[in-house]
Amino acid sequence: MEHKGVVVWFTGLPCCGKTTIARKIKEKLEEEADVELLDGDTVRDYIKNKDFSQEGRNKHLRYIALMAKLLSERGVIVMCTFVSPYRENRDFARSITDNFVEIYVKCPVEICIERDVKGMYKKALNGEIKNFTGIDDPYEEPEHPELVLETDKESVEESVEKVLKKLEELGYIRNVTAQETAIEE
């Protein structure tokens, strides 16, 4: 099936659920479409970028935005899961990409701290990690995202369904839930 390429940019505090939700969506879509997941931790580890200053983050996210744009131009559904704390970076990604969907994965920092299995928040609170978003570096909430997910109030499955419904509504995918139901019957 031919799909229109799109960059689906998940943004939110560390440990808010961005990657978990995107992985589930990828699983649901990858039989029908070419789907790539660009995840913050994976990409940073691969390109060996450990510069978390504002300048370092800006450079890193511009690179990611360009990579996502190029993939989407080839019909790929590109899911980007990056904290991307500054509006200017998300606005840049939107400005260079014809098909862009911003999804704000909203979750209170207290819940993110509870979910943090790597102990990053604890290290940031103890001063061991500097420039940590939500602790000593700001997160600028999106002003006009296409979708807001509240992961402290909804299950992963509910969030996934909201994203799939939005992508269908915007014309990027066909109804995945209906296809699954039809196949199961």
Q: Which residues belong to the active site?
A: 84
Residues in contact with 31: Cβ distance below 8 Å, sequence separation at least 6, in sequence order: none
Alpha helices in the chain (DSSP H): 18-29, 40-47, 54-72, 87-96, 109-115, 120-125, 156-169, 176-184
Rounded-to-integer distance, Cα 6 and Cα 72, Å: 5
> Phi first, then psi: what are they for 136, rounded to 5°?
-120, 15
Rounded-to-integer distance, Cα 48 and Cα 22, Å: 23
Pairing between β-strand 6-11 and β-strand 35-39 as defined by DSSP bridges:
unpaired
